[in-house]
C-alpha cells in the first residue's frame, strides 16, 4: 500500500504508517500552506496511492490554512481514484 502524506507531518503518523508497512510519499507544502497542484496531480497519476493523510483545516506544525478551492480539487482527484 502507498500513502500520500503532507509534509511537514507529525512523526507519530509517519511511524504508524511505517509500522503498518505502508510506503509513504511525502508531498511538501509551500510556505503559503499550499501544495503545488500540478506536481500533486502528476504524482497521483504516476503512483498507486491508496491512502491520503492530509490536514482537514490547519496544518500542524506549520500552522497554515490551505485554500478551500485547493482542498476541493484534491478531494475530486482522490475520489476519482477511489482513495
- Maximum CA extent, the chain: 33
CA distances from 13 to 18, 28, 39, 51, 75 (A): 9, 15, 23, 13, 20
pLDDT of 68 > 90? The answer is no
CB 40 within 8 A of CB 32: no
Under the banding of pLDDT at 50, 70 and 90, the label for residue 61 is low
User: CATH number for the domain including 43?
Assistant: 3.40.640.10
What's the pTM value of the predicted model, to 2 decimals?
A: 0.83
Q: 45-54, pLDDT tens digit by residue?
A: 999 999 999 8
pLDDT in tens, 35-44: 899 999 999 9
At 4-43, the pLDDT tens digits run 999 888 899 999 999 999 999 999 988 888 889 999 999 9
Give the residue numbers spanning the domain of 66. Answer: 2-80
If pLDDT is split at 50, 70 and 90, which confidence band does 56 have? Answer: confident
Structurally, the chain folds into a number of domains equal to: 1
Amino acid at each position: 500500500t502507498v500513502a500520500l502524506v503532507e509534509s511537514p507531518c507529525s512523526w507519530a503518523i509517519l511511524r504508524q504508517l511505517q509500522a503498518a508497512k505502508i510506503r509513504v510519499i511525502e508531498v511538501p507544502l509551500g510556505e503559503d500552506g499550499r501544495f503545488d497542484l500540478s506536481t500533486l496531480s502528476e504524482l497521483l497519476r504516476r503512483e498507486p496511492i491508496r491512502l491520503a493523510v492530509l490536514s482537514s483545516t490547519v496544518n500542524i506544525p506549520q500552522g497554515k490554512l490551505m485554500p478551500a478551492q485547493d482542498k476541493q480539487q484534491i478531494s475530486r482527484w482522490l475520489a476519482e481514484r477511489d482513495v
